[in-house]
Amino acid sequence: MMNIENIKIKKSFHVEIRDVLDAHLNSLAYPMDSFLENSLTESEIFSIVKEDAIIGYAAVQGDYLFFFHIILQEFKSALQYLRNSAKAVI
């Protein structure tokens, strides 16, 4: 069972999540098209932090969650992180 108490969602800048963002983009089978790239650039970024390490991010525009990514090592808990991220940012 995951201890959600040690997870924080915080507003961030793209540069703060660069490593996780690059890992996400490099894992895609196809490169993002310009619409998705622009959507990511224009989104508010929220980092998902566990024990002082960024383990993922959520990209939000208005009431819409455009992107959500969790590093592979935390994938088993991704659904719970998504639920908590959505509550925190939307």
Tens-place pLDDT, residues 40-75: 888 999 998 988 889 899 899 988 888 888 888 887
- Please enumerate, as own/partner, the contacts of 11-15 that have beta carbons within 8 Å and a separation of 24 or more: 11/44, 11/45, 11/46, 12/45, 12/46, 12/47, 12/54, 12/57, 13/45, 14/41, 14/45
Domain residue ranges of the chain, discontinuous segments joined by +: 4-89
Contact (CB, 8 A) for 46 and 88: yes
> What's the pLDDT at 1?
38
pTM of this prediction exceeds 0.75: yes
Topology at the third CATH level for domain 4-89: Aminopeptidase (3.40.630)
Contact (CB, 8 A) for 57 and 20: yes
Q: How confident is the model at residue 23 (pLDDT cuts 50, 70, 90)?
A: confident
